[in-house]
Amino acid sequence: MHDALDTAGTVDEGKRQEAGRWDDGLIARRAAGRPAPAGGDAPATGPEDDDALPVLGGAYGGALRTRLDALHELVGLSRTRVESEVLAEAGRVLDEAAARQRLSARHTVVAIAGATGSGKSTLFNALAGVPVSETGLRRPTTAAPLALAWSEGAAGLLDRLGIPGRLRRRPLAGGAGDSDLQGLVLIDLPDHDSAVTAHRDQVDRLLGLVDAVIWVVDPEKYADAALHERYLRPLAGHAEVTFVVLNQIDRLGTEAADLVLDDLRRLLDEDGVALGEHGEPGATVLSLSALTGEGVPELRELLGRFVQDRTAPERRLAADLDAAAAKLRPVYVADGRPGLGERSRDEFADRLALAVGAHAAGEAAERVWRRNAIRACGTPWLRLYRWYERIRAHGSGTDPRLEAPAEDELTARQRVEQAVRTVSDEASRGLPGPWAQAVREAAARGADGLPEALDELTATMGDPAARPPRPAWWPAAVLAQVVMTLLQFLGALWLVGQIVGVLQPGLLAPVLVMVAGIVGGPLVEWACAAAVRGPARRYGQEAERTLREAVAACGRARVLDPIAAELMRYREVREQFVTASGATRVASRIAGGGRGRLGPTRTGAGRR
């Protein structure tokens, strides 16, 4: 209940959590595996004793213990990712669970709270059977909380509540022999609307420590906005440990009392308070008159069953866990299914490959392979012409390869930074704020020095176009081209010899030899160019693939793996949050037929 109250006690608890009480998940997991001390008594939890809570949870039921352990580990895993202020309420619940477990499980602490003049002290005396709490017209009448215990052994609980010995009472007449109320510790609180600030602070503090509360309202103030907005509405999740009593019905007629009670139930429903009707768990709503005793026996009977059930501390703690989980939900529940798919990973690798020019390197390697083949197997006259063209182009300064790059072309470093930024945005999309920030920070740390690492990697691998390998058939092609060139020279010398008269005239034979050399040279060059096209393409593709894989491995190790680690950590804490929030609690409670309900919702003077 204390989660809804803005009190000094809350501030103190928050400060204590800010001091860094909760340890990391590894410590939480080690603690979860430790056996409970013999005898069931656990040591007190101190500021340096972070391992105690999972052990202390062993005294609660299995489901509650599982939720406590999950919340403990959740806090430990989240310390470096989530601000301590956000985790303060979860830490307070763990503290209260540890403190309550160390104290008597045979007692149930029930507080009676109400506004000025509602008659809560009169009801307190009526339940006690003797005038214990002061009543009167003076406002406020109750200045300090008063405790009434029906059995021994509640001193530790009262010490935790901060109630001094002079304000502790025992029933003197009738109460001691009431076996149904054995184990009940009843607390009469100051007025929650008291003009004295210290009184309101005491109410807020004690409402965060008791196991259950009886809210006493009267026909005049039952719809008071301060009650509904400050207490009932924020504490709607604690309906199973809440009684709402309409007092002073002796001032109303039967029909008027029923109308007021129905309106009270309507207001509670608007506040979100579940009402225990039709066998469902929820708050008990009834009417009575503490002054005349009408309806008090029914309330005593309900309290007796409630106390003997001895599940109020666990139900109260479960409601606190629900409230803490509701506050933590925006921190741990993502929109959609965040993460990195294969498509995002491949696109990141493609961007890095583009940044280092893997595709351009593969094309360059392919061109060099083909150019070397043409140089080795080409005709000497064609090679001479191409040499001349290169010399002329170099002299004129018109080589297109020397043109300045476009101004809007991204640099390699900018491409790398853009790739990292894109993949981090994709990985963090839909994540809650702290975990999205953790993913972006992990990516930024990995990106630091990534461009230099990629440059060093490409330099280490070398330029695949520098020394491309030659196929085994190149020497044969070169020899064939030499033969074709020799045939051209032989035919030319044969003709010259005929012209000068050294050889007998006959044009057909030398012309055929010369034509064979002239035609055979380009044919050999064309055949070599056709034969080298496939190997050159494969060589370029292999060079591109090798560089791409190396770059992708570097990016994966520096960026993707840290991002994946953060996403794995988020999934782990998400699983712990689901367990701590008790996602299956409602289903199991319905299956159990509403175990632990507080009793009927319409009682008092036998009405309806």
Reported as a single tens digit per residue, the pLDDT across 358-379 is 878 777 777 777 777 666 666 6
| DSSP bridge pairs for 149 | 185
80, 92, 431, 532, 570 from 434: Cα distances, Å: 10, 21, 8, 57, 10
Q: What is the pLDDT of residue 141?
A: 58
Average pLDDT for 73-85: 87
Asked if pLDDT for residue 100 goes beyond 50, the answer is: yes
pTM summary value: 0.67
Asked if pLDDT for residue 209 goes beyond 60, the answer is: yes
Q: Please, which residues have CB within 8 angstroms of residue 442's CB and are 6 or more apart in sequence?
A: 424, 562, 563, 565, 566
The three-state secondary structure class of 518 is: helix
| Long-range contacts, 263-267 (Cβ 8 Å, 24+) | 263/222, 263/223, 264/217, 264/222, 264/223, 265/601, 267/222, 267/223, 267/228
Burial of 349 (0-12, 13-18, 19+ CB in 10 A): buried
CA distance 553 to 64: 45
Asked if pLDDT for residue 89 goes beyond 80, the answer is: yes
Reported as a single tens digit per residue, the pLDDT across 424-451 is 988 888 888 888 899 999 999 988 888 8
The least confident of 177-186, 323-332, 454-463 is 454-463
Reported as a single tens digit per residue, the pLDDT across 508-522 is 887 787 788 777 777
Q: Give me the residue spans of the domains in the chain.
A: 2-96, 106-309, 342-394+409-589
Q: What is the pLDDT of residue 375?
A: 66
Q: What is the pLDDT of residue 374?
A: 67
Q: Give me the residue label for tokens 């490959």.
A: 353
CA distance 13 to 378: 87
The least confident of 18-27, 129-138, 307-316, 317-326 is 18-27
Asked if pLDDT for residue 473 goes beyond 80, the answer is: no
Confidence category of residue 319, pLDDT binned at 50, 70, 90 = very high
The three-state secondary structure class of 129 is: coil
Rg (CA), the chain: 44
Q: State which CATH number among 3.30.870.10, 3.40.50.1220, 3.40.50.300, 2.60.120.10 fits the domain covering 106-309.
A: 3.40.50.300
